[in-house]
Structures are given as C-alpha cells and as structure tokens.
Amino acid sequence: MTMADNPAGGSDLWIANSISDLIQGDVCEHLPIERIPLQGDVLGMGTTTSIDNGELAFLQTPDGNSAIWKCQASDGGIRQLHPGDGSSNFPYVCFSSNATGTGTRVDLSLLAAPPGARLQDRVGDAITLLRQRGQLAEAPIYGLRLVANWRSLIITVASKLCMGQQRRNTSIASSEASGATASRSIYELLQHYRLAADDPGNADDPIRYLGRSLQWDCCGFWDSDPMSGRVTVPVEGAHLHLHGYSTDLRYGGHLHHEHPETDLLELERLELYPMQRIHQLASDLAIEALRLEDGQIHFSVCNRGSMDVSDVGVAVVIDNCYSSHRYLRLPWLSAGEAEAFSLNLPLSPGAHQVEVIADPERHILEEQRLQLNNRMRLDLVIPS
C-alpha cells in the first residue's frame, strides 16, 4: 500500500515519529515534504525543524487538493511551503491518504452547546452522537476539519523544537533542571499569542496580542487513546490536537483550545474522517557488506527505513577495545540510501574481531527489533 492509496472503508494515517518522540528531546529523523502526497483531501499537521521553527497546517486548496502551510514562531504569520524552498524536512508530521468522500459533515443543530462549552467537548459529543446514529464508523483516530469563530483564542507556535533535552535525561537520571522542566506542560514552553476583539493593553502580559482575526479554518485529529502520544500530547483526556489559520490568512498555529482564556463563540462547520489504519514511519539503520581487503575494512551504512536521518555516529571497534575505537559521523542519510566506507586497518598476525556499530549512542529513534541490524561483526585471522 502506498501513501496515496485510499482503500474503501476509511482513510489511512501515516505518522512520522510521534508527539511523544518530539517532546523527549532532540529528534534526528526527518520526513521530506516530497514524500507527502497532497492530491485530494489530505489531513495532517506537524512541526518544522529547530533551525526554522514553526507548526504545519494541512489545508485545502480551491482545486480540491491540499497544501502545507507553515505557522512561524517569530510573529504567528503563515506562508505556504513548496518542495525545494528550504523548509522541506519535518521531524514530526502525520498525514492521511486522500480522504475525499470519506468525511461526515456534522449537523451542528443536533449538538447541545451550553455556555462555555469547550471545543474538545463539542468534538467529542459529535463523535459519540454520530456513532450512536450509525453515521460514523468506529476508528482509533478521527481526522477533522472545522471552521470556528472565537471570542478570544490563544495559539502556540513551537519556538524550540527540542522541549528540553532534560526531558530525555529524566528517564535515566534526575537533576533540579530536568525535574522543573518535565513537571511543566509542554505548552508552557512554546510561544503564545492572543487573538481577541480588543488588546488587553497589559504590558506585563506574557501572551503577545496579535489582532482581531477570530475566524479560523482548522485541521487536526482526535485520538481515542491519547496516552499513546501518537498525535496528541500523552495526557489523560487530551484527545484533540488542532492546527489552523485565520481565514484572513494573517496568522496560524496550534490552537490552544484548552487554555482558560480561549473562548469559543460558534462552531460554524465540522467534518469528521475515520482513520482506520495507522502506519508508523520509522528509521532503520543497518551495517552491510563488512569485509577485509588489502589491509582495509570496507562496509556500508544503510538507511532501510522510511525516514531520513541526521548526525549519525558509526563506531569501528577492534578486539572489543572500545577505548581505542574509530569513530565516524554522517551528517545526513536519506531513506533508502547507503554510504560506503573504507578504513586502513593495520592488524598484527593472529585472530581478531572487528565490529562496526551504527548509532552506538542510540540517538536515532528505532524500535528494538530494528536495532538488531545496527551492528556487524567480522572474525579474522591474519597470517604471520
């Protein structure tokens, strides 16, 4: 099955890394924009790199296809991304197959809307109602498109991709810094902006006022199992993750719909898409073709996975002596590609063991089963 397929019975969802991966610290895996099919109605969202910070919003175009827009951390502005424009590699992104014809438009008149109703509650009620009426298939994740009007709206834009390497360190050690960082909500670490009818005029307000752009076109996902951290922050009850842009094309970002100062005025349109099959895109490094010829060892470092990888370390260890190992570093290795190496290896006569290890520090996110091919060993006997 390809990423462009749209089999009967619902849409497919591809996830490149996950929200849980992203908030653990540095991410060395990337998906290029060229590998995301945008023909038809493609739902998605993601983040750009730490060099070019921002959020991604997948929005429909007048011709019935889809486009990726970048929401910028510096000013909350937006611009459309195109292959080759320099912002093409994403450390986290999820996107659907062509979902044209698989969405169900919600009759909003059927939803009770008590004063102060939160957006997540409205979406959850809509999913429950449509499933009870037999109008919506059961699915692990639902994609959604909506248009909403707000009295006030707080948005966030990723201003630092790595939410603190302390978060990853906390899994193996503790420090005052890591504890303080890990105890805070991920959204506290991001740039916040306020949309409202009037500027509060508070010079000490840490939330920057942008303007009166209060109608937003949005795309996102509802995860039935938020603790999995697939497309939402892994917090109990945090089912909804939503990115979008103001319909005047001035601002965009992550809708902080759960923020106490976000106030929904009206849900104008809501369409739900069952995501029936979930596919995890991953890296898979491998060492191949290790051999000794004419006093040199030869080997290839291969990326068998579906994600590009950056900053990959390779260790060459002789006779289990790690203190004197040779070390190489690859700045980039695209999915499906390999890089061949040759190293002079003067060995004394006798039996030796040469081991080559890709990513010995385990910086690349690979499932344990995919790490088995990260090393290759060669047993040698050098004649006297």
pLDDT of 50 over the 90 cut: no
- pLDDT tens per residue across span 216-225: 999 999 999 9
Residues 351 and 373 in one domain: yes
Q: Which amino acid is at 342?
A: S
* Domain endpoint, select from 258, 281, 304: 281
Residues 180 and 209 in one domain: yes
Examine residue 6 and state whether it is found in any structural domain, yes or no: no
Q: Which amino acid is at 14?
A: W
Alpha helices in 170-281 (DSSP H): 176-182
Residues 256 and 358 in one domain: no
Q: Mean pLDDT, the chain, as a whole number? A: 87
Contact 46, 117 (CB under 8 A): no
Number of domains in the chain: 2
Backbone angles phi, psi at 179, to 5 degrees: -65, -40
Examine residue 2 and state whether it is found in any structural domain, yes or no: no
Backbone angles phi, psi at 21, to 5 degrees: -60, -45
Examine residue 267 and state whether it is found in any structural domain, yes or no: yes
What is the predicted pLDDT for the residue at 296? 92
Half-sphere exposure in the Cβ direction for 42 (13 Å, CA) = 27
Mean pLDDT of 47-57: 83
Contact 131, 272 (CB under 8 A): no
Binned at pLDDT 50, 70 and 90, residue 9 comes out as: low
Q: Which amino acid is at 222?
A: W
Q: Is 324 helix (H, G, I), strand (E, B) or coil?
A: helix
Which DSSP string do the residues of 210-226 spell out, in sequence order? Answer: EES--EEEEEEEEES-G
Rounded Cα–Cα distance for residues 51 and 160 (Å): 9
Mean pLDDT of 212-219: 97
Residues 236 and 317 in one domain: no
Backbone angles phi, psi at 284, to 5 degrees: -155, 90
CATH classification of the domain holding 299: 2.60.40.10
Rounded Cα–Cα distance for residues 170 and 180 (Å): 10
DSSP run (H or E) holding 80: strand 78-80
- pLDDT tens per residue across span 81-95: 988 766 678 989 999
End-to-end CA distance of the chain: 55
What is the predicted pLDDT for the residue at 8? 42
Instruction: Name the residue range of residue 110's domain.
Output: 11-281
Residues 192 and 46 in one domain: yes
Q: Which amino acid is at 33?
A: I
Binned at pLDDT 50, 70 and 90, residue 27 comes out as: confident
